[in-house]
A and B are shown apart, each in its own frame.
Chain A
Amino acid sequence: MPDISANLAGIKSPNPFWLASAPPTNSGYQIMKAFDAGWGGAVWKTLGVPVVNVSSRYGGVNYRDSRLVGLNNIELITDRPLKDNLREIEEVKKYFPDHAVIASLMVESKEQWHQIVKDVENAGADGIELNFGCPHGMCERGMGSAVGQEPEVLKTIVGWVKEVATKPVIVKLTPNISDITEPAQAANEGGGDAISLINTIQSLVGVDIDNFVPYPVVDGKSTHGGYCGPAVKPIALNMLKNCAQHPNVNLPISGIGGIENWRDAVEYILLGATNVQVCTAVMHFGFGIVRDMISGLEGYMEEKGFNSLDDMRGKALGNVTNWENLNLKYKVIADIDEEKCIGCQLCYIACEDGAHQAIGLSEKDGERVPHIIEQNCVGCNLCSIVCPVEECITMVRKDDGSEVVTWKERGEAGTAPTTFNDEKAGGIGHWVPEPKDALKKRV
């Protein structure tokens, strides 16, 4: 059995699955229940001067019959007194000494930072996470993402914390910034021990079109919230990659954003995360999902021959490069498996209207399997993405792999197009239909 225990900057947990600082970690009761169910760690709902919250607080994004592909919230940090939280931290640690309990913190002055760090360490927290990510409400008061967006301020506060902290300090970053590696570097410079990312993305999840107000509605008004859930995972993965590849970040990373099963977690770890944090999926399905996360991760590692998380960490990082380094000679073409095709012709209309008119319809009566017009196919993948049948459309490699030419090389060799009507344009030689042929076509 592979070892799935994790160690983030010295914070150990029996597995890499932590609950993110959020409503599921609001109380000792919830965290005890989560640990009992199998979660390896939990970042306590952010502690500070307790707030007053509004009702309502969440907005969901659904895609057809899939509920909650995205979740937006306008809830603030803990609204419970610090002493109650500290007492519960102590109690949880008594029951679960080997699980990771991290205190998420957000206060204003240096004195407050010093005091609260000491308080949570005394209560038994295994680590501290600095909430520099919250993009709603708290940032209006100069905290949360207001700090995460100012690398200099961030660095200063990390410095204050490190003056008194004896446990590892994780700096939680906001994605509401054009280059997340800047605050990540600042976290490093300030002496942080790890970073976690991403916090939620500023969002309006939708508008009530009958009453003309976005969700969630608070007495006829709304405000922007923080967006999370499966929809944000691609954004988070890219930011994770940026930080993991950056030579000056150099900190272990706790990955957050849309993780709801073991596959998501594996992707995060392959892109450099040391562990992962989960919130939305638990808010949707409860703590029980961790059982599949653990067994799925173990099964994957066994199948791939990984003995520990360290064996697999960052395995995909080396394969992410700049566009200019991609091989322009690599050529794939779509291939439709006639046996599997159900004849929906979505590939046809997707390619016809949304790509390169490289799929033709069968001309035989009653026959609905489309065919690839190879000379028009640019290998874009669109048909294989829209096809509703598993492995019906595959992309088949056509070049022999002997040639590698990149954009960078072409630039250097002077073979890249440089003028508007350059003969070296990639699209020259591609067949395109006449504009007027578009008229009166079935849609």
Chain B
Amino acid sequence: MGEFKKPTSEQEFEQNFQQIKPLMNKTEAYYESSRCLFCYDAPCQTACPTSIDIPLFIRQINSGNLTGSASTIYASNYFGNACGKVCPTEVLCEGACVYTEQNVKPIEIGRLQNYATQKAIDEKKKLFKLASANGKKVAIIGAGPAGISCACELRTLGYEVTVFEAKEKPSGLTVYGVAPYKITNEEALNEMEYLQEQFGYQVHYNQRIDSVEDLQELENNYDAVFIGVGLGNTSSLQMPGEDLENCVGATELIEELRMNHHQVAMGKKVIVLGGGNTAMDAASEAARMGAEKSILAYRRSKAEMGAYEFEYDLAKGAGVDGMFNVSPLEIQGDGKVSGVKFIRTEQRNGKLESIAGSEFVESCDMVIRATGQSKQVAWLSQIEGLELDKGNRISVNPESFQTTNARYFAAGDAMNGGKEVVNAAADGKQAARGIHNYLS
């Protein structure tokens, strides 16, 4: 690992962004499923935000009951296929596998889950029986994991569901924001197609709900509205030089990469600012796109990074260098980025402080800001009576996911501030139950 040539074709792109959790073959799945102990009250299931009955679905793979296995998975998580690939299983189900207690490799739960659901998707297996129409209508804003999960669950309960999506494709960050080596566009979209075919909700693409009038119309035409709008663009660093050419936000860059693959222009020497999982992805992606140097610059120490350890390892494996305890002061350049001025930092009495006189400039021709996504405060303020918490997240009842405006429900990143696909899928589904209770 480490040396990637700039990809000039789709084939080269795929090579550089090889799937880290490739689809298992039948033999692999059989052997891996054979290792599962079928724990009682299994810790993997407890660790799963959607509480999938993992021992059961693995046993069903092992006995050759793949349809049953897919049913078990989808009954808990409508993003079963995608989650098998994009979940941070190392810190969820697989991290909880009892095998780890004796230093035995945990069961590859994610890949098994992906395997079992892939078969159902390929064969277009109909796994759910929808309730007959109850005459009630729900609008869903945002076709991301929360919105689609909510839509599927509502359909099983007999609601007429219409999803409004500002972008061109469904699945939200699964297709627009996850690193390309975790899941391909085709995989993410195939599952969406499979779900829509099975659950029969309507999706209007390229239709942004944008104004008080739009919202009013939804309120007039639907019995309840679900907000699954996610987060906004990468937050500003509030420092000079941010508007220079080649200074980009990580979220925006990853989206471009997911859509345009090898055609995306990447700098030769790239500095990524941030220490979260998105920063790791961005740095790794820069390296895989052929950047000669991809540097991760974080203002605190390595140990204080918000990113999961395995994500940092993955970036390192792609050839990313780390710079720690360096805080950016300004992005320099004449029209175009030429470097970043940093100051070194240290912990003093539990506080991060700059070391006077330690400023230095690290040259580069591209800066990726991976400093978190902004909240869609302005957009949300259009909804009457909708309260946000201190972190500008939508306040909801933790059981029903009902907001402070009784007709609105919310889940996903806009509600939790930015978590995993699996959290959005879990909460979106539960929100549907909340909507059902409210409307019945």
Contact = CB atoms under 8 A, between A and B. Distances in A.
Interface in B8-49: 30-31, 34-35, 37-43
Contact of A346 (B30, B38, B43): B38
Nearest to B96: A343
A342 B101 contact: yes
Contact of A388 (B34, B37, B40, B42): B37
A148 to B, nearest CB: 38
Say which size band chain A's interface belongs to.
10 to 19
Contact of A65 (B30, B40, B43, B101): B30
A340 interface: yes
Contact residues of B: prevailing secondary structure: helix
Nearest to B102: A342
Given A64-B34, A65-B34, A389 B102 contact: yes
Contacts of A368: 43, 98
A345 interface: yes
Given A65-B30, A65-B34, A442 B102 contact: no
B77 interface: no
A348 B40 contact: yes
Interface in B302-323: none
A368 B96 CA distance: 12
Nearest to B27: A65
A64 B27 CA distance: 11
B31 A442 contact: no
A396 interface: no
B101 A343 contact: yes
Contact of B31 (A65, A340, A342, A345): A65
B67 interface: no
A276 B232 CA distance: 75
B171 interface: no
A342 B98 contact: yes
A231 interface: no
A368 B34 CA distance: 23
Contacts of A389: 102
A343 B31 CA distance: 22
A215 B42 CA distance: 37
B98 A343 contact: yes
A390 B62 CA distance: 24
Given A64-B62, A388-B37, A343 B43 contact: yes
A362 to B, nearest CB: 11
Contacts of B98: 342-344, 368
A344 B35 CA distance: 13
Contacts of A346: 37-40
Contacts of B35: 65
B194 interface: no
B99 interface: yes
Interface of B: 30-31, 34-35, 37-43, 62, 98-99, 101-102
Given A65-B31, A345-B39, A349-B40, 13 more contacts: A64-B34, A64-B62, A65-B30, A342-B101, A343-B43, A343-B98, A344-B37, A345-B41, A346-B37, A346-B39, A388-B37, A389-B102, A442-B41
14 contacts: A65-B35, A340-B102, A341-B101, A342-B98, A342-B102, A343-B101, A344-B37, A344-B39, A344-B98, A346-B38, A346-B39, A349-B40, A368-B98, A388-B37
